[in-house]
Amino acid sequence: MNLTQALRDARARTDILLNLVCPHALYERPIAERHRIVFYLGHLEAFDWNLLHEVVNLPSFHPSFDRLFAFGIDPGPGNLPADAPSDWPQLDEVHGYNARVRDELDARLADAPEQLLHVAIEHRLMHAETFAYMLHNLPAEHKVAQAQSPAGGGPVAPEMIEVPRGTARLGLDTGSASFGWDNEFEAHSVDVPAFAAGRYKVTNGEYLRFVEAGAATPNFWVRSDGQWYWRGMFEQVPLPLDWPVYVSQQEAQAYAGFAGKRLLTEAEYHRCLATAPPADPSHDNFDFYRWDPMPVNSGNGGSAGFRQLVGNGWEWTSTPFAPFPGFAAFPFYPGYSADFFDGQHYVMKGASARTAACFTRPSFRNWFRASYPYVYAGFRVAEE
């Protein structure tokens, strides 16, 4: 892989996303728990600069921006940011900083270690997804609309598939030819008792019964004139009953209890994945394939197998995000994983429509707070 070109391709991907925001909305905060959009405009270049400039012998030219745009936030409940738009720099200053970062780094990328280039590329592509779900919460009049063909059918009948007892292989081996983040190491095996899991992700139609029984409305749903709608990236559509429901981990856990079932563990997800055909971005709805979901029974998969273990929405598990045996933090990014080993964040597996293909490697682990409702994440149920 040409990592220099891969970084340029990742930049193009995030540039496209940032250009979807109308200029007057760049100081908005679509999600209360996150920074204003202007932060992300500067963050991607500041991260690359902070990661690489010393190892390629470039002196800092704007230390205050290096610090201001260095880190995102993940506040606990009730501890929301309170900054004002006036607390942030003018757009021309941020654009000037970004342009200089790219120019100076590009002249020295040949001197950068491969591991750090992988980090820069994957960090940026992670934000391509993070920024997408932020934009999902931005009013439509603040975005440049993009065309998308509808995808939907009718209700999908849930089915359970039995998985025999076996071994799940998690993580990457040290010295693997593949890049991995620190929480992906070390590879190890886990004995998994027999269980059954849903062939499909839980749908909006199934979850609607839970809402009608008194559960809270998911973040992506809207009620208007007595009808339920899906709040899409660019327009509202009547709630597609065959799309996966996107909810928080707490909501997923609550639904599973309501249905007399439970969530998969991380190891059980791997047991399911071992039986599934390889994911294909041409029809499995990942790698920026669509802006919104597709029916849960679409895409790859045998007639009797699991569907969409990769693509069309991350899958919440019941596994707290924690280190594997032998974990060692990246010395150049010590808080990437370790700051979230707190029992409040849970592992997600798979991929969403806005997940880059590099993250579909089986060892990759995503995670969010259990109460976080904004991410493109659904779930499938399991039982003994």
Task: Write out the DSSP string of 295-322.
Answer: -TT-SS--TTS---SSSSEEEEEEEEP-
Is the CB of residue 134 less than 8 Å from the CB of residue 37?
yes
Are 102 and 186 contained in the same domain? no
- Looking at the fold, whether 83 and 132 belong to one and the same domain comes out as yes
Domain-embedded: residue 108: yes
| 223 occurs within a structural domain | no
Domain match, 128 and 191 both: no
- 258 plus 132 within the same structural domain: no
In a domain, 214, yes or no: no
310 in any annotated domain: yes
Q: Do 296 and 355 share a structural domain?
A: yes
The enclosing domain of 109 has a CATH number of 1.20.120.450
Helical pair 114-136 and 37-52, crossing angle rounded to 10 deg? 180
75: which strand partners? none
Closest CA to 112 of 53, 177, 70, 186: 53
pTM over 0.75, yes/no: yes
Q: CA 303, 291, 266 angle in degrees (round to 5)?
A: 55
Residues 6+ apart with CB under 8 A from 6: 117, 121
**Rounded-to-integer distance, Cα 289 and Cα 227, Å:** 28
Ramachandran region, residue 20 (left: φ > 0; alpha: ψ -120 to 50; beta: rest): alpha
133 with 166, same domain?
Answer: no
**Do 180 and 55 reside in the same domain of the chain?**
no
Neighbours of 282 (CB within 10 A): 10
Residue in the block written with tokens 């997800």: 269
Pair 122, 176 in one domain: no
* 349: in domain: yes
Nearest alpha-carbon partner for 344 in 378, 371, 317: 371
Report if residue 152 sits inside a domain.
no
> Total structural domains in the chain?
2
- The separation between CA 86 and the C-alpha centre of its own chain, rounded to angstroms, equals 30
CATH number of the domain enclosing 267? 3.90.1580.10
- Same-domain status, 176 and 40: no
Q: What one-character DSSP code corresponds to residue 143? A: B
Domain that holds residue 277: 160-203+243-383
- Per-residue pLDDT of the chain (384 residues), as tens digits, is 699 999 999 999 999 999 999 999 999 999 998 999 999 999 999 999 999 999 999 999 999 999 999 988 777 777 788 899 999 999 999 999 999 999 999 999 999 999 999 999 999 999 999 999 999 999 999 999 888 776 676 778 999 999 999 999 999 998 888 899 999 999 999 999 999 999 999 999 999 999 999 999 999 999 999 999 999 999 999 999 999 999 999 999 999 999 999 999 999 999 999 988 888 887 789 999 999 999 999 876 555 689 999 999 999 999 999 999 999 999 999 999 999 999 999 999 999 999 999 999 999 999 999 999 999 999 999 999
Verify that 8 and 132 share a domain, yes or no.
yes
Check whether residue 177 and residue 326 sit in a common domain: yes
What CA–CA distance (Å, rounded) separates 285 from 180? 23
Residue 316 lies in a domain: yes
283 and 182 belong to one structural domain: yes
Tokens representing 77?
């409940």
Amino acid, res. 339: D
Domain membership of residue 233 (yes or no) is no
